[in-house]
Amino acid sequence: MSGIKRVAKKVNIPTKTDVLRLCGLFLARALARRRGPCFTALPTGVGITSDSKESISTTSSKKKYFARIKDHRLAKMCWKLLTWTPKRCRWDPDDPPKFSMGLNLLFGFAGTFTVANLYYNHPILNILADEFNVSNERASLIPTLMQAGYAAGLLFLCPLGDIFRRRAFVLILVFFTATIWLGLCLTKSFPVFLALSFITAVSTVTPQLMLPLVGDLAPPHRRATALSIVVSGLLLGMLIARLLSGILTQYTSWRSIYWFSFGMQYLILILLFFFMPDYPSTNPGGLNYFSMLFSILKMLFKHPVLVQACLVGFCTSSIFTSFWTTLTFLLSEPPYKYSPVTIGLFALVGIGAMCFGPFYSKAIIDRFVPLFSVILGQTYCLAGVIIGTFTGTFTVAGPIIQAFAMDLGLQTSQIANRSAIYAIEPRARNRVNTAYMVSVFCGQLAGTAIGNRLYAQGGWRASGGCSIGFVGASLVVCFVRGPWEKGWVGWKGGWGIRRRDLGGEKKEEPAVEQVLDEISAEGKLEGSGDEKGKEAVSGSETEKVEEVRAKEQDSGS
């Protein structure tokens, strides 16, 4: 049998039947070509000649060659399919697609069940620990690695949205995520599960490519409302993942929720393929990738409002993930001893806050300066964390109040921060979004790691005390720089919280639309391959867009 194994290893045949068939073929050829008794004996008694060895080598090379051709053709077919655009979705510079409510809801739906991939494991960490025979602390590496992978995807993939056409880029990422996710549904190895969790998290960044697109296309006076729908979808995904995961795990296996996610990823791929319009690149001339990454750092030294938003986002997101990961252990232990489905039902509390978000944005965030809404959001978070930390060990009302207040505060802060930072550099919104979201998910990574470590050492109140410190730090950052301050520190420009240009924003909108039309003209030149035309495109459009957005920033950042 060892001789067969050696031949099988040499020709790289995956099935046992094929191995036996090829071994017989090679042996027959060796006997037919034998010129003398020059067999090389094998331990099993099966012999092959030197001519046979050459035949095996030739056959193996041919099979590898044809396998490469087949793989190449399959990859080429997938590439053509994912980059092909249906006629109704193709870009027409004479009649560009409008950002309708239907498209807004589609982006929100895609964001919900894409970002949910990161959170399905949260309410079932104790079950995953039992399944893979590891400790609770080691099982908490799953959400930690997924947050790290998501942050890596934000840093290295999202900036490419300023170069590539976003439709094809989004479809390719969704396809890759859905395909690799199959491994999570099947593997029985904890190290493999950790590795695949990290890889899928890296490519689960498609909602962060959609958000800058919303900032590009939504009218300025409706931008916060449009963003709130997509952001609500993202936050809803964080919560509905816990709900579905708890219910399915309670009545079936924990793998059921992973199979559900596998199907949802392909459903999202199909919906986006048929309904997501194509948009031209905002930088049709192209950018150097490493220079583009370096420009993210330069933005942090150039725009104080971006740094302020990043610091607040880091602190707020850290308390969010710290709460939801440690809550699983709190509710599964005495005095509660809740089942996974009961723990998952806690997501309903946060879902109520998420549904309230778009109406809140229209009433508050669109009317007042973003910093005012950020401070309100941090106040909600602080009140919720204090109540939940000191009452959660003896009454379930504490975590319920904390969940509602924190989710409302987080949503308010995120929408307001995005409304402020998307007015900074119109042609670099993906990079601006990258800077902000990397800080947010670094905060989630820190919150998950620190929260679990403190809970393991000191219990619920230890992790909650750390969350109180994070919220306090975010409030300090908010009060260091006022809503009208142009510099890094101070309150120059007054304490007024109402936007000063509510009557003028709609007048600016045609200018923005005109510039976007000119950008689309550049995209048309890009598609035609006219290099001289690209060089002839004037830089005045960029200046006009930046001038309009700067006015918005001056009035509301």
Contact at 8 Å (CB) between 462 and 454? yes
Helices (H) and strands (E) in the chain, counts: 23, 2
Contact at 8 Å (CB) between 469 and 184? no
CA-atom Rg of the chain in angstroms: 28
What band does 104 get if pLDDT is binned at 50, 70 and 90?
A: confident
Instruction: Report helix, strand or coil for 526.
Output: helix
* CA distance linking residue 181 with residue 201, whole number of Å: 10
231-257 in b/e form (b: 16+ CB < 10 A) is bbbbbbbbbbbbbbbbbbbbeeebebb
Contact at 8 Å (CB) between 47 and 39? yes
> If we measure between CA atoms, which residue out of 9, 61, 3, 56 comes closest to residue 30?
56
What residues have CB less than 8 Å from 545, skipping those under 6 apart? 426, 427, 512, 515, 516, 519
Instruction: Report helix, strand or coil for 491.
Output: coil
Domain 84-480 has CATH 1.20.1250.20: yes
Helix H or strand E segment including 480: helix 460-480
Least confident of 36-40, 296-300, 400-404: 36-40
Kindly list the distances between the CA atom of residue 131 and the CA atoms of 8, 342, 488, 545, in Å, as whole numbers in the listed order.
35, 20, 51, 55
> Has residue 454 got a pLDDT over 80?
yes
Instruction: Report helix, strand or coil for 530.
Output: coil
Q: What is the DSSP pairing of strand 47-48 with strand 40-41?
A: antiparallel
Instruction: Report helix, strand or coil for 498.
Output: strand
**Chain segment 377-388, per-residue pLDDT in tens:** 899 999 999 999
- Please name the residue that has the structure tokens 């009961």: 342
* CA distance linking residue 239 with residue 350, whole number of Å: 7
* CA distance linking residue 478 with residue 382, whole number of Å: 14
What band does 43 get if pLDDT is binned at 50, 70 and 90?
A: very low
Q: In the 8-state DSSP scheme, what is residue 361?
A: I
* CA distance linking residue 108 with residue 476, whole number of Å: 32
Q: What is the DSSP string of 216-264?
A: HHS-GGGHHHHHHHHHHHHHHHHHHHHHHHHHHHHHS-THHHHHHHHHH
Contact at 8 Å (CB) between 356 and 409? no
Q: Phi and psi (nearest 5°) for 498?
A: -85, 145
> If we measure between CA atoms, which residue out of 267, 229, 207, 303 comes closest to residue 550?
303
Least confident of 37-51, 87-101, 242-256: 37-51
- Please name the residue that has the structure tokens 């919150």: 447
Angle between helices 429-458 and 397-421 (to 10 degrees): 160
**Chain segment 458-513, per-residue pLDDT in tens:** 888 999 999 999 999 999 988 888 777 777 877 776 676 666 554 433 434 433 44
Kindly list the distances between the CA atom of residue 492 and the CA atoms of 230, 409, 416, 482, in Å, as whole numbers in the listed order.
33, 27, 20, 7
Least confident of 64-73, 251-260, 304-313, 419-428: 64-73
**Chain segment 256-294, per-residue pLDDT in tens:** 999 999 999 999 999 998 888 887 776 656 667 787 788
Give the residue, 61 or 258, on which the prediction is more confident: 258
What band does 525 get if pLDDT is binned at 50, 70 and 90?
A: very low
- Looking at residues 56-69, what average pLDDT do you find? 48
**Chain segment 320-359, per-residue pLDDT in tens:** 888 988 888 888 888 888 887 787 677 777 777 777 766 7
> If we measure between CA atoms, which residue out of 154, 546, 223 comes closest to residue 370?
223
* CA distance linking residue 431 with residue 303, whole number of Å: 13
CA atoms within 13 A on the CB side of 350: 30
Contact at 8 Å (CB) between 373 and 227? no
What residues have CB less than 8 Å from 380, skipping those under 6 apart? 405, 406, 408, 409, 412
What residues have CB less than 8 Å from 131, skipping those under 6 apart? 254
Q: Phi and psi (nearest 5°) for 40?
A: -100, 110
Supply the pLDDT for residue 1: 46
Supply the pLDDT for residue 533: 38
* CA distance linking residue 163 with residue 209, whole number of Å: 12
- Count other Cβ atoms within 10 Å, centred on residue 324: 26
- Please name the residue that has the structure tokens 């004996």: 41
Compute the mean pLDDT over every residue in the chain, rounded to the nearest whole number: 74
Residues forming a β-bridge with 403: none
- Please name the residue that has the structure tokens 């729908």: 229
**Chain segment 149-158, per-residue pLDDT in tens:** 887 888 888 8
* CA distance linking residue 295 with residue 361, whole number of Å: 31
